Amino acid sequence: MVNAVSKNIYYVSKLGTDTVSIIDGDNLSIIEEVKVGPRPYDIVIDNKNNVYIATDRNNKVTIIDHATKTEKRLYIPNNGHIKVDSISQRIYVSSTEEVHVYSLYDGEELGRINGFIAVDCIDLNSDGSKLFILDIFQNEIKVYDTSSLMLIKKYNKIGMAPNYIFIEDEERYIYISNKSASRGKFTGNIHVVDLESDKISYIEFPLGSSITDLEGNSNYLYAVNNGLNRIDIIDLKKYEVTESIKTTLEEPQKIRISLDKRLLLVTSKDNKGRGALDIIDIEKQIIVNTFKFKENNCNPYDIGVIKEEKILYNSLEENLNENKESAILANKVISTYKEKIIFQQETNELLSEEIIEVEEVIFEKCKVVEESKSRGLIDNKRNYLIFKFEFYIPYYISCINSKKEKIIIKGILNGKQKAVLYIEDNNSLDDLDFIIRSSTQLMITPYIKDRFIIFDASSIITTYIIKEELVFLPDKLKEL
């Protein structure tokens, strides 16, 4: 019998104690306190449950592998604001006047974007192709292509005191929270940018509002209203606040939504720096539980959410004795590594002078160069191995000439990957198999210049470690 159990785990940064609390979401108890350094600001969690914490006073980013509880540190100048693209293995870091791009492999700087005065928020779209940067001094958002780091769009007139960007799931709109310029006299609001039409609208709030953080779910937006000491719920069909929830302590800080979209998590503090984490039921729109931090002056701030899953197996003997299940051998995925690889300015020479038009480019799956494969454990990290290989991706450019005749031009994309993969203690390297998959698409429409067809493409290369394991199927299912 195989049983799966899951629970929410919360990571909460605390500005006053230089620590991050790891909290069991089921019983709201502290699992561990991790010392990360002075003023831990942003918490980012990638798709492998690696937790990134930026501390601005010691120019450090701490990375915690949630599965193994191992830590490593990147010494990178920052002002507390980071974003991570685990597919391309890049981390984007604000240092106030610049945004730097570093490799997560070795911490090497890959590039930088300058020309800012005060960067206070950065964000990526879902596929990591666009980087949004908010300069709170110049009151503008600049959008960059992450492959070239070139500016592709700029938005101004986004409010008097913008401070946070939220990109909704469909990526049609971005929402910008605005603090009030002078509490009590002016009011904060939310500016809305339509990314298709570039039109800017806004959502109004009562006098004295100061909007400092945002989250979203379906047709609703959730705003931290620090000015009125509450969480405001905005109906995006009506563009108005329909409900407000007072937090346990009077100064709400940050808000995050659970992975199943059922709970809102809110940090708050009082004038002595004491802190609380409120759990809000989204459907009922009420606080259903609260965790209070014991320390004075702890100042809880950002929140990260992980869904921890465990598989429970009964013994083989138990299952066979029950005589209600059949055992089969199946491949189990032990670990996965994804990387986005960019192929820029791929060229194919045209051998004839005739005029042609490109119809489409078809990419095959990647093929691994067998003799290039190598693998080995990482020194001092027995649960991690590096798997290196070279690969190529055949492609076919379908063209048509002036006589409507079809012409096929063949080409190859060449690349290599250095995959870092986790294995459990009880796994022998000899028992493991490696599978590589690819998904490739064009980044720009192919064009012809000086008798060459030129295009850019991106490919997501995924490496799986698999292992054969016994799986038990109910006899009734087997009969089907």
Give 454-477 pLDDT, tens digit per residue.
999 999 999 988 887 666 666 554
Q: What is the pLDDT of residues 164-223, one digit of tens each?
A: 999 998 899 999 999 976 655 668 999 999 999 999 999 999 999 999 999 999 899 999
Question: In whole angstroms, what is the distance from residue 474 CA to residue 151 CA?
Answer: 57
In a domain, 409, yes or no: yes
374 with 474, same domain? yes
In a domain, 411, yes or no: yes
Last residue of a domain, one of 244, 279, 311: 311
Residues with Cβ within 8 Å of residue 440, at least 6 apart in sequence: 363, 366, 393, 395, 413, 457, 458, 459, 460
* Structural domain for 32, as ranges: 2-311
pLDDT at position 332 over 80: no
In a domain, 317, yes or no: no
**What pTM did the predictor assign?**
0.70
Quickly state the pLDDT bin for 64 (edges 50, 70, 90): very high
In a domain, 279, yes or no: yes
In a domain, 83, yes or no: yes
287 with 396, same domain? no
293 with 406, same domain? no
Number of independent structural domains in the chain: 2
Quickly state the pLDDT bin for 4 (edges 50, 70, 90): low
In a domain, 52, yes or no: yes
Handedness of CA 139, 145, 149, 151 (dihedral sign): negative
Q: What is the pLDDT of residues 415-439, one digit of tens each?
A: 999 988 887 765 666 677 889 999 9
343 with 280, same domain? no
Minimal CA–CA distance to 397: which of 409, 412, 406?
A: 409
Q: What is the pLDDT of residues 103-127, one digit of tens each?
A: 887 788 999 999 999 999 999 998 8
307 with 327, same domain? no
Minimal CA–CA distance to 463: which of 424, 419, 416?
A: 419
48 with 196, same domain? yes
248 with 109, same domain? yes
CB 295 within 8 A of CB 269: no
Quote the pLDDT of residue 466.
85
In a domain, 272, yes or no: yes
In a domain, 93, yes or no: yes
CATH code for the domain of 47: 2.130.10.10
Last residue of a domain, one of 282, 311, 340: 311
SS (H, E, C) 375-429: EEEECCEEEEEEEEEEEEEEEEEEEEECCCCEEEEEEEEEEEEEEEEECCCCCCH
Quickly state the pLDDT bin for 360 (edges 50, 70, 90): very high
327 with 307, same domain? no
175 with 247, same domain? yes
304 with 399, same domain? no
Last residue of a domain, one of 268, 283, 311: 311
